[in-house]
Amino acid sequence: MSPIIILLVICLYFLMLVGISWYTSRNADQNSYYIGNKNSIWWLVALGMISDSLSGVTFISVPGNVLNDKFSYMQVVFGYVIGNFITAYVLLPLYYRLNLTSIYSYLGQRFGEVSQKTGSFYFLLSRTLGAAARLYLAAGVLQTFLFEPFGIPFTVSVCIIIGLILIYTYRGGIKSLVWTDALQSFFLLSALFITLFNLYFYINWDTAWSIATQNGFNRLFVWDWAPSNNFFKMIIGGILVAVTMTGMDQNMMQKNLSCKNIGEARKNILSYNSTLIFINFFFLSLGVLLYVYAQQQSISLPLKDGKVFTDGVFPFMAFEHLGKWAGLIFIVGLTAATFSSADSVLTTLTTSFCIDFLKFNPDKTESNSQRMQRHFIHVVFAFLILISMLVISKINGGAIINTILKLAGYTYGPLLGMFAFGIFTKFKIFDKLVIAVCVAAPILTYYIDSYFLIYTNGFQLGFLNLALNGLLTFTGLLIIKKSF
């Protein structure tokens, strides 16, 4: 496909986002930026959460990783569904009852200012690195098929992408993102289903099922205790990932807190939750069909370090082997995933820093100096995501989905332990010692994980590293609790 056509599609898509952002951010104030004036439409929030949770990782990495993990990723999706019920009926009522804008204000009210800042810091760290990893994956594809033909280096192309996202998130905040993310979810899902429909005409269905079973692509449950994708590890991990990466994550919660009341916010969570199994099933099915078609046609798949580069399979097949329209559909879906993976993150990173560290009050009129500070912080986080992307481009190997979920285990573990301790106990703690506990827990988790791998004949904690990290944090908080 011509790079000119790809560039035209991206430009038109971007202009549409800018137009929506401009229209929805007219007369926007501080309250609009942080919580959308508490007037967001619940079903738009629910639709937007799909693109927030999927991003380019699900669009590219989940289908590609079918080669390694088969259909076993569905095990963690089942855990997500259970975890989101916990968010809807335990965490969401807590946040609404306390009338929070930053959910880490709960830690401040429960334990003290140091706990609030520590919780916020782990969110800032995790989401900055996670957004960079998600954006890196999509940017890499755009680099190959769009920027390289024009001789533009990766560093410059990343700056262009970040700059475009800054333009339409700079003013409107949550009020604009509710609409733009909903639109991006629509395009992302449309690209998925159109690609599946297109594949229907390329597959030889007489041999498709036998090829799928011969390669084990239909394997869903893994009962062997050693690998990281063991059923129990993934179910428990999925529950905790959903609770932390949705219910304890400012990025996912901020738009929910912009709904009119808890009833609408809960409808949003449950509506979004009801789509998870179906959407992920179709993404995994897409991966199976891509590999089946490649074998039927004896297509040589892209390699990296002597192995199939799974994150490159979908874009390679779309541009090279599925017809002229497949590449265009892929670019539309990827563009939606690219912008969606970073726009709301920039806004919520800014929100968390302004409220948790600078102590802005969203219910008061914003001064000119505060507005300038907010805009500056917005740009700083964009720069940090850019730097993180460039670092990831140097060190990444394998499927990025695995990197992101492993990273979440180390960065969200302290949040899990702190929130669980606050909700399930009535103890007070020595607030100034929280930092030591939340630094020690991830380090201990890393060494324990390494110990199991070396001394237990290949046993991998996998998703259980999040549970272990949270448990160590909880235990540490018990140690520093006050006895009076």
* Residue 405, CA atoms < 13 Å, CB-side half-sphere: 30
pTM of the model: 0.84
Cα dihedral: 425, 80, 245, 315 (round 10) = 170
Per-residue confidence band for 165, with pLDDT thresholds at 50, 70 and 90: confident
Nearest to 466 by CA among 298, 161, 236: 236
**Mean pLDDT, the chain, integer:** 84
The C-alpha atoms of residue 446 and residue 456 are separated, in whole angstroms, by 15
pLDDT band at 209 (very low <50, low <70, confident <90, very high): very high
Write the pLDDT tens digit of every residue in 53-69: 766 677 888 898 898 88
Average pLDDT over every residue of 381-392: 86
Distances (CA, A) of 86 to 179, 417, 470: 26, 15, 16
Two tokens at 46? 């629910």
pLDDT of residue 207: 92
pLDDT digits (tens, 9 = 90+) for 397-442: 555 666 676 777 788 999 999 999 999 999 999 999 999 999 999 9
Quote the CA–CA distance of 347 and 484 in Å, as a whole number: 40
Task: Report the range out of 20-34, 48-62, 77-91, 456-470 with the highest average pLDDT.
Answer: 77-91
Q: pLDDT tens digits, residue range 84-115? A: 999 999 999 999 999 888 899 999 999 999 99
Amino acid, res. 445: T
pLDDT at 23 over 80: no
Ranked by mean pLDDT, the top range of 153-157, 254-258, 359-363, 463-467 is: 153-157
Looking at residue 463, its pLDDT comes to 73
Helix, strand, coil distribution of the chain in percent, nearest 5: 80, 0, 20
Q: Using an 8 Å Cβ cutoff, are 460 and 232 in contact?
A: no
Q: Which residue has the higher pLDDT, 295 or 449?
A: 295
Length of the chain: 484
Give the residue, 341 or 253, on which the prediction is more confident.
253
Amino acid residing at 204: N
Flag whether pLDDT at 456 surpasses 80: no
Give residue 284's identity as a one-letter amino acid code: L
pLDDT level of residue 446 (50, 70, 90 thresholds): confident
pLDDT band with cut points at 50, 70 and 90 for residue 290: very high
b/e map 220-238, b = 16+ CB within 10 Å: eebeeeeebbbbebbbbbb
Structural tokens at position 326? 């497949």
User: Per-residue b/e over 423-454, b at no fewer than 16 CB within 10 Å?
Assistant: eeeeeebbbeebeebbeebbebbeeebeebee
Q: Which structural domains are found in the chain, ordered by start?
A: 3-419 (1.20.1730.10)
The residue that leads in pLDDT, 340 or 83, is 83
